C-alpha cells in the first residue's frame, strides 16, 4: 500500500542518514519503527507492585477482628 507521510525536514534527514548507514531502505526503516511502536503498545506491561503481604496465603487475617481505632492505635502507638 502506498501512502504519504508528512514529517519534519530534520527527522527526514536523520531517517535517511540512518537508513543509508545501516544499508536499509527508508521504507524498511519506517516499517520497522511502526512495528516496534505497535508491538510495544499491544504488549504494554502494566506496573505490578511487589507482594509484601504478611503471613501466609489462606491464614486468617489478624486485623479482621480489630476495629479501625484499634488498628490506628497499633500502627501509631496509641492515642494521645
Rounded CA separation 35/41 (Å): 10
Q: Strand ranges (DSSP E) for the chain?
A: none
Amino acid 74: pLDDT: 86
Cell of 33: 519503527
pLDDT for 45 equals: 66
pLDDT tens digits in sequence order for the chain, 80 residues long: 888 989 999 999 999 999 999 999 999 999 999 998 888 766 666 677 788 877 788 888 888 889 999 989 988 986 55
Residue 15: C-alpha distances to residues 2, 40, 50, 80 (Å): 18, 21, 40, 67
What is the reported pTM?
0.50
Amino acid at each position: 500500500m502506498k501512502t504519504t507521510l508528512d514529517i519534519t525536514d530534520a527527522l527526514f534527514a536523520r531517517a535517511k542518514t540512518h537508513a543509508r548507514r545501516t544499508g536499509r531502505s527508508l521504507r524498511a526503516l519506517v516499517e520497522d519503527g511502526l512495528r516496534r511502536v505497535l508491538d510495544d503498545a499491544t504488549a504494554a506491561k502494566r506496573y505490578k507492585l511487589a507482594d509484601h503481604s504478611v503471613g501466609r496465603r489462606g491464614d486468617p487475617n489478624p486485623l479482621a477482628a480489630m476495629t479501625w481505632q484499634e488498628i490506628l492505635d497499633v500502627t501509631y502507638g496509641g492515642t494521645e
